[in-house]
Structure 1
Amino acid sequence: MKSDIITQQLQAEQITIQEALHKVGHQGKYQKMAYAFFCFQWILGGCLLMSPIFIFEKPQFQCQQNPQFTIEQCEKWVCQQENPLQYQVKKLSSFVVEFDPPLICSRQWIADTVAALNYGGSIIGFLISIYISDNKGRKIASIIFWFIGALGCAFIGIFNYNIWLSALGFSLANAGVNPTITIHFCFINEHSDGNFREYTSASLNIFYSIGSFYLVVAYVLSTNWVQIIVYWIGIPMFVSLIYYYFIYEPPLFLYEKNKMKAIESLNKIAKFNKRPEVQADSLKEREIEQNQNQRIYGVFDLVKFKSMRLTTICTGIVFFITQISYYGTNFTLSQIGLDTKYNTLAIAFSELLAFSLVVIAIPKLKRRKWSFILTAIYSLIYIIFFFIKKPDNCTEYCKENILQIALISLSRCLLSFQFSLCYVYFSEIYPTTIRSLGLGFISTIGQIGSAVSAYIVTYFNNQNISPIGIMGICSFISIIAYLPLRETYSQPLKNEIDEIQSETSLNFGKQLTNFQSQITNHDL
């Protein structure tokens, strides 16, 4: 009799962590406040990550003394002159022309290397941040890396006279900013739910595109590239660190580590949202053994388990190719279409449109299907660039330039839609316990693509082959990587790796059976 009563008590209804989150408010004042702060960080992050468009802008040359020269012949002739910059079409104030001699012609490799180090810093940042974020906490990781990003901007301002010290500053800035804004997806997935979670995850990218507009304003109002980095990005980053005082560790993340800390976080959110608190005995225990409760996750876990191995490989391939296509086109904006600032504005408008449409459509879109379709379409548009040949007498507003900027704007709109959708998709495809680890790792792979994009553009330009067309071929091939991935649309988020969940559920069941047997024997 007693055993039946105790069994009934053990099976008494308790709320899950998701139900507890709904009780304290899954889309309340706290979530909206945190989202607003994240949006501000995405504006600064977008400005920094898009800044190489202007910082590494290469001069275009004119050869009035030799009007019969083609564009390629003109550039070769200019590089043979004592002062190549006197032949530039417009006077630039970029990192490339800051030094004497400038980082063009035979020194172009230096500019490409610094650009690679600029994005390469994110690789180191991601590798470190994924460990800290998944094992120490989302909040502490965000604070550390946002500070590193701000410190990198300050470093650039102090040592802008030195090529390699500036390169170190660029690396630090990207090593801090990129991991921080990626961790935001973990925050949103783990402290909100429902349509609010989907809308806020997707709409972060809108503020990334607003960062592009912010960059153009900074470019127009500033006298040089150093002011953009220091005054328009670095100082606001330092000041914004104070807002982390109001940000809590997300409860779904804490629940996988420590139930009492999760309850503490839930009740802080409840207080902020003016909702009822959660009592410790009302929250279900996680089905995991005590000695596994403090499990440390690492990159090896992404390939160790069969359920995650193919997922990690395929999502890594998608991010690698996507970021080559995305950031690679940034390095071509001074060579195609209109003036660089007008090209950037056109890109910013197209991305803003894409990210806005994602917010509206995300609750209705199947992730895998539409990622596949969008990648195929923008890849084909990129391939068209193989067939656009500008005549030597092409003016700024000739039909070929207009066609180029129209096509690149359309393709970037589709690419941005796909990129935003993939961030939501891939943040859903990884379980809570390794979500930051998974996103961080594939973002690291993506940053390798970003780092090599400058070399790709320079190499194929020197071969007189359209680098955008090459990116289109690679992107089209990459759609194969979507095929093995599972669909996450309308599916509940996983909390744990399948193999670990199965093992711990089995152990929990054995413990419960043994406990009930002990009670029965005691009654007898």
Structure 2
Amino acid sequence: MHFDEILHVIGGFGKFQKLLYVWICLPQIFLAFHMLVSIFSGAIPPHRCRSESSGSLNFSLLTSPELSCPARSNQSDAGAFSAGGSNVSCRGGWEYSTETYQSTIVTEWDLVCDKASLNYVGSSIYMFGLLVGALLFGTLADKYGRRNIILVSLAIQAVFGVGAAFAPNFYVYTALRFMVGTSISGVIMNAFVLGTEWTGSKQRMLAGLITDYWFGVGYILLAGVAYLIRDWRKLQLAISAPGFFFIFYILVLPKSARWLMINNRNEEAWELIRKAAQMNSKPFTLDLEMCQVYKAEEKSEVKTKYSIVDLVRTPKMRRQSLIVFYLWFVNILVYYGLSLNISDVGMNIYLTQMIFGLVEMPARTITLFTLNRSRKFSQLAFLLVGGSACLLTIFVPSDLSMIRTTLAMVGKFGITASLSIIYVYSAELFPTVIRQNGIGLGSMFARMGGVLAPMMHFLRFLSPHAPMILCGLLPLLGAALTLLLPETANKPLPDTIQDIEGHSFSDEDGVNPVFFKACLRNSNCSSSTSQDTTKPSA
């Protein structure tokens, strides 16, 4: 827990950390752009078969995709429409309404009727890219450092994002979007962890919440950008090309001193610590050799090769990991499940996008007032709110749609707040040596929830209330499981698995924790006194 003592001395959230958060938050806007751009680039405008006889047909009448698909029959009119039957490709080609969009990938590659499934497959492949990125870049970041993976991910995002704007066909476009998806996970996870590892325990919640706010800003801004740019290729280029400006991060983005120390790169870490202390105007003359930051056995432990297996190898670590993974899964599953159920409001799509971005801001704001008191009970409370509100909707008559919608929004409010908390909470539950593995695997479970969320629609065949029952029961189970997790508010980050399992320092370890705390505050300490076990008087 020694690095948190160092942060206490040099400033847990001074000028150095504030500048770091500027660098962390800027990419979040563009991450939101890439995550949500398919709402516009993959939109399906009203369309019809191209034929002379159907030239007078009003596009506004085609409110359902099925109405624009010709049935498999012996019809002689290529412009005929049917709401039923097996759909076949339109023999005369397609005409699309340009009232809302100049072009989308649907209009360019005719991804309607028989080809409509390709549009959804492309979205699934993009989500799979997020999953792959969570696994790949989580492991690589523990090995090569948070900063290096952030830089690589930003480069991948810019190159492949711009490339997608010039894709010659749908299959190349999908492959390029897959690569962008992997980079999204690389930036989200590692920027968050880098901020967490440089922030003091009392301000650590800002690592997740501030970045969430900027993701929300991107959510809202995308509505304006998409409104001004109605062509999907130009829109894709507009959200991707600015990524090349992040090349200057090579000069300004710092490494994680905590990660450097865990990997026995103490001299490099100490230089960063001195720089942070200087920027924070905190005097810090302590010599690295005068106070051992990590014990001998801790250094020998970090030489061990860590993997995701270590997340479940020991009892307490296994229990915490499995619960956290479930919380990641259920938060994303219910979040997107609710979003899909309440998104069809019949309003202008650009206005809807902006409102949905705005509605999440209060949910993230309220966590600022609860997280410092308790991570554990904040997570539990918002899961209860989200789950209970969803369950209550099944008791509201269908003719009271306003009440049902309000309850659904309360459910989304609770889940959004819970989702913001799980970022902070999970980073504090995993020790440094496997933190990135834990966050990566948790993100993988989250992406699995995202992939399954659209499939909740099929539960309606069992019962009209089945989706909301699931959205209610799963968070309530998560709230119950949260009771089994430890409290992490205002506590040092665990660095080793021994810290999780209850290992504590003793005189036999060769390090006196009371002396160490005094040592950090007194540059006159020397290694010869490190064995003094005399406790100071009150």
TM-score (norm 2): 0.79
1:300 to 1:468, Cα distance in 2 relative to 1, 3 A: same
For residues 420-439 of structure 1, what are the structure 2 equivalents within 5 Å? 420-439=420-439
- 1:337 and 1:403 in contact (8 A); partners too: no
Measure how far apart 1:23 and its partner are.
Answer: 2.9
Task: Tell me the secondary structure at the aligned position of residue 372 of structure 2.
Answer: helix
**Partners of 1:331 and 1:454 within 8 A in 2:** yes
For residues 423 and 496 of structure 1, the distance between their equivalents in structure 2, rounded to whole angstroms, comes to 20
- Assess, with a 3 A threshold, how the Cα gap between structure 1 residues 70 and 52 changes in structure 2: closer, same or farther: closer
Give the corresponding residue for 2:350. Answer: 341
How far did 1:332 drift?
Answer: 5.0
Say if 2:267 is the partner of 1:281. Answer: no
| One of 211, 215, 227 as aligned partner of 2:234 | 227
Q: Which whole-Å CA distance do the structure 2 matches of 1:487 and 1:16 have between them?
A: 19
User: SS at the partner of 2:368?
Assistant: helix
| Aligned 1:501-520 pairs, distance under 5 A | 509=509
Q: Secondary structure at the match of 2:371?
A: helix
Q: Deviations over 1:228-251 (max 9, x none)?
A: 33212x122221231242122122
Q: Which residue does the alignment assign to 1:198?
A: 205
Distance 1:72 1:464, change over 3 A: farther
Per the alignment, residue 52 of structure 2 pairs with: none
Per the TM alignment, residue 427 of structure 1 is displaced from its structure 2 partner at its CA by: 1.2
Identity rate, percent: 18
Change (3 A) 1:89 1:375: farther
Q: Secondary structure at the match of 2:161?
A: helix
SS of the aligned residue for 2:294 comes to coil
For residues 68 and 459 of structure 2, what CA distance do their matches in structure 1 show? 15
* CA distance, structure 2, for counterparts of residue 134 and residue 336 of structure 1: 44
Residues 394, 465 of structure 2: 8 Å contact kept: yes
CA distance in 2, matches of 1:440, 1:255: 21
Q: How does 1:466-485 map to 2 (within 5 A)?
A: 469=468, 472-473=471-472, 475-476=474-475, 478-479=477-478, 480-485=480-485
> Cα distance, 1:87 vs. partner?
8.8
CA distance in 2, matches of 1:491, 1:40: 28
Equivalent pairs counted in the alignment come to: 486
What CA deviation, in whole Å up to 9, does each residue of 1:346-383 have, x standing for no partner?
2111111222222243212x222232232232234345
* Secondary structure of 2:311's aligned partner: helix
Give the 5 Å matches for 1:264-303: 264-277=271-284, 278-289=286-297, 290-303=299-312
Inter-partner Cα distance in structure 2 for 1:261 and 1:73:
62
- 1:91-102 equivalences under 5 Å are 91-92=100-101, 95=104, 97-102=106-111
Residue 361 of structure 1 aligns to a residue whose secondary structure is: coil
Residues in 1 aligned to 2:355 and 2:467: alpha-carbon distance in whole angstroms: 17
Structure with the bigger RCO (C-alpha within 8 Å, sep 6+) is 1
State the shift of 1:409 in Å.
4.0
1:319–1:442 CA contact under 8 A, matched in 2: yes
- 1:383 and 1:468 in contact (8 A); partners too: no
Question: Which of 231, 251, 256 lines up with 1:250 in the alignment?
Answer: 256
- The one-letter amino acid of 2:428's match is E
Partner residue in 1 for 2:133: 125
The Cα shift of 1:333 comes to 5.9
* Structure that is richer in helix per residue: 1
Query: Partner of 1:158 in structure 2?
Result: 166
The correspondence of residues 95-114 of structure 1 with structure 2, limited to 5 A, is 95=104, 97-102=106-111, 104-114=112-122
CA distance in 1, matches of 2:185, 2:405: 27
- Asked whether the equivalents of residues 203 and 358 of structure 1 are also in contact (C-alpha less than 8 Å), the reply is no
Instruction: Kindly provide the amino acid, as one letter, of the partner of residue 25 in structure 1.
Output: G
Q: Is the 8 A contact 2:163 2:176 kept in 1?
A: yes
Distance (Å, rounded) in 2 between the aligned partners of 1:18 and 1:452: 39
Q: Does the 8 Å contact 1:115/1:451 carry over to 2?
A: no
Contact kept, 8 Å, 1:317 with 1:478, in 2: the verdict is: no
**What CA deviation, in whole Å up to 9, does each residue of 1:19-51 have, x standing for no partner?**
322333322211111111111111221222232
Contact 1:149 1:172 in 2 (8 A): yes
Match in the other structure for 2:416:
416
Q: Secondary structure at the match of 1:362?
A: coil
The Cα shift of 1:412 comes to 2.7
Q: Secondary structure at the match of 2:205?
A: helix
- Which residue is 2:497 aligned to? 497
2:186 is aligned with 1:179:
yes
- Do 1:145 and 1:177's aligned partners in 2 also have CA atoms closer than 8 Å? yes
Equivalent position amino acid for 2:149 in 1: A
Per the TM alignment, residue 474 of structure 1 is displaced from its structure 2 partner at its CA by: 5.5
In the alignment, the residues of structure 2 paired with residue 321 and residue 484 of structure 1 have an alpha-carbon distance, to the nearest angstrom, of 17
1:443 aligned residue? 443
Write out aligned runs for 1:209-220 (5 A): 209-220=216-227
1:251–1:468 CA distance, 2 compared to 1 (3 A): same
Native 8 Å contact 1:186 1:436 kept in 2? yes
Q: Taking structure 1 as reference, are residues 489 and 127 closer, same or farther at Cα in structure 2, changes over 3 Å only?
A: same
Change (3 A) 1:264 1:359: same
CA distance in 2 between counterparts of 1:145 and 1:210 reads 21
Question: How many angstroms apart in 1 are the aligned matches of 2:356 and 2:68?
Answer: 27
- How far apart are the structure 1 equivalents of 2:352 and 2:150? 33
Structure 1's 409 and 225: CA in aligned 2 closer, same or farther, altered over 3 A?
farther
Structure 2 CA distance for partners of 1:442 and 1:174, relative to 1, 3 Å? same
The residue that corresponds to 2:76 in the other structure is none
Give matches, 1:317-396, under 5 Å.
Answer: 317-331=326-340, 335-364=344-373, 366-383=374-391
Q: Which residue of 1 aligns with 2:517?
A: none
CA 1:70–1:270: 2 relative to 1, 3 Å? closer
Aligned with 1:484: secondary structure? coil
Could you say which residue in structure 2 is the equivalent of 1:29? 15
User: Is the contact made by 2:29 and 2:218 (CA closer than 8 Å) also made in structure 1?
Assistant: yes
RMSD of aligned residue pairs (Cα, Å): 3.9
Shift of 1:212: 0.8
Call closer, same or farther: CA 1:379–1:164 in 2, change over 3 Å.
farther
Q: Which moved more, 1:302-311 or 1:48-57?
A: 48-57
What is the CA distance between 1:269 and its match in structure 2? 1.7
> 1:396 is matched with which residue?
none
What secondary structure does 1:493 align onto? coil
- Counterpart of 1:185, as a letter, is F
User: Gapped runs of 5+ residues in structure 2?
Assistant: 49-56, 70-81, 513-527, 532-538
Q: Which amino acid aligns with 1:374?
A: F
Q: Is the 8 A contact 2:375 2:487 kept in 1?
A: yes
Is contact 2:380-2:482 (8 Å) kept?
yes
